Structure 1
């Protein structure tokens, strides 16, 4: 469990760094697009599609990090009123459902990405399949993080957030 926790904490930390860096790159791309449109009167054609692809990476990787560090919206206020044993069972069910969702993300992201891989995105000559890579990566991260949460619940411990 300790090795999985270390690995997941590192993965979550770098996932958050990647998401923040990606957000900064998106801001720079959009600023360049606005500069090109209104100052140079010649908007770059590649900026919009690249920003849209990067948004997928930022949001999906960031969402996976939120699953590990409990940054997602939860029903904690209701679960606090429930005794510990039933609460643990409900939390386990939630993490199993999230794990299954991660499996579907990986599988369907892979299938969809492979089905559109031969096609190119307009103006950036990048395969359409790159749009589905963050879905597969995020799903794999969610699976790992859900397994860690389930083990922690079984052992009656807490998953320490990546930032501690």
Structure 2
């Protein structure tokens, strides 16, 4: 699907960009503080935001690539009925969790926007920082829907952790 391939590219690009920019600003801040003796308090706000955004976008990528922590000992030793039930429960919990993250994140954004809360050093609107929550929830929802589609509609099996659900 073209949409999912484009989403893969966008997620990877933004996650890498935010991560590298955050690390660069962090290194700049350390250099300024410990080498030149000039603390840059604004840098903490920016690199924290960039790294949080990179990590939250990375959740979706990790789900797509089956890189989340999993305990497979029982799953690997079970039969196909247990695996199907386990996969169904996992997908349902994941879908509800992503919806929860989306709605609570959206509530955080709206409250911060209504209250006009700003960051301490830069005076940056905090609701922009909080946008990552509903965005991450939406990205996770898309990935869980993709995983459910591949499992139930395409009848691809996820045995042995071979990432079959994500091969195209």
Pick one of 151, 154, 158 that aligns with 1:153.
151
Structure 2 CA distance for aligned equivalents of residues 100 and 48 of structure 1: 33
The aligned runs of 1:100-111 (5 Å cut-off) are: 100-111=96-107
The aligned runs of 1:70-149 (5 Å cut-off) are: 70-117=66-113, 118-149=116-147
* Matched residue SS, 1:159: helix
Q: Normalising by structure 2, what TM-score?
A: 0.86
Question: Alignment length, in residue pairs?
Answer: 158
Alignment check: 8 A CA contact 1:53 1:131 kept? yes
Alignment check: 8 A CA contact 2:102 2:138 kept? yes
Structure 1 CA distance for aligned equivalents of residues 48 and 102 of structure 2: 20
Q: Deviations over 1:128-153 (max 9, x none)?
A: 11221111111001111111111111
Q: Normalising by structure 1, what TM-score?
A: 0.88
* Matched residue SS, 1:15: helix
* Matched residue SS, 2:95: helix
- Alignment gaps of 5+ in structure 2: 157-163
- Alignment gaps of 5+ in structure 1: none
Higher RCO (C-alpha under 8 Å, 6+ residues apart) = 1
Structure 2 CA distance for aligned equivalents of residues 136 and 116 of structure 1: 14
Structure 2 CA distance for aligned equivalents of residues 75 and 68 of structure 1: 17
CA RMSD of aligned residues (A): 1.7
